[in-house]
Amino acid sequence: MKPKDYTEFEATLLASHPPSDWPEGLKALWFDAKGDWEASHDIAQEMHNSLGSWIHAYLHRKEGDRFNAGYWYRQANRPFSKLSLEEELRELVEFVIG
């Protein structure tokens, strides 16, 4: 079951793995929030939709690769984010749990 809000999402970070019934996008964001960029990227890379592109953009922005991030924001049909990384993570999580 998906969390109801960002606070519930944060509470799940105490676990060692995300719930198996979560959508892939939420799992990717969970791994990023846990500090596992690679696991998050691996999931986002396999998501061939606008959400996967947005997560991919956020991840490349986080690693400091503005060029690659820009490409993925365009693929997601979103402007390059001006939010802090923490704010964008929250925006993404709230979008997914919508």
Domains of the chain, residue spans: 6-97
Element (DSSP H or E) covering residue 96: helix 85-97
Whole-angstrom Cα distance, residue 81 to residue 18?
A: 26
Percentage helix, strand, coil, to 5, in the chain? Answer: 65, 0, 35
- 6 with 18: CB under 8 angstroms? no
Kindly give, in sequence order, each residue whose CB lies less than 8 Å from that of residue 74, ignoring residues fewer than 6 positions away.
none
For residues 55 and 44, the answer to whether their CB atoms sit within 8 Å is yes
pLDDT of residue 69: 97
Which contiguous run of DSSP H or E holds residue 93?
helix 85-97
Residues 8-49: pLDDT tens digits?
999 999 999 999 999 999 999 999 999 999 999 999 999 999
CB 70 within 8 A of CB 60: no
Question: Which pLDDT does position 77 carry in this prediction?
Answer: 97
C-alpha closest to that of 14 among 34, 36, 43: 34
Q: What is the structure's pLDDT at 1?
A: 86
Digit-coded pLDDT (tens) for 71-88? 999 999 999 999 999 999
Q: How much is the pTM?
A: 0.95
Per-residue confidence (pLDDT) for residue 45, from 0 to 100: 95
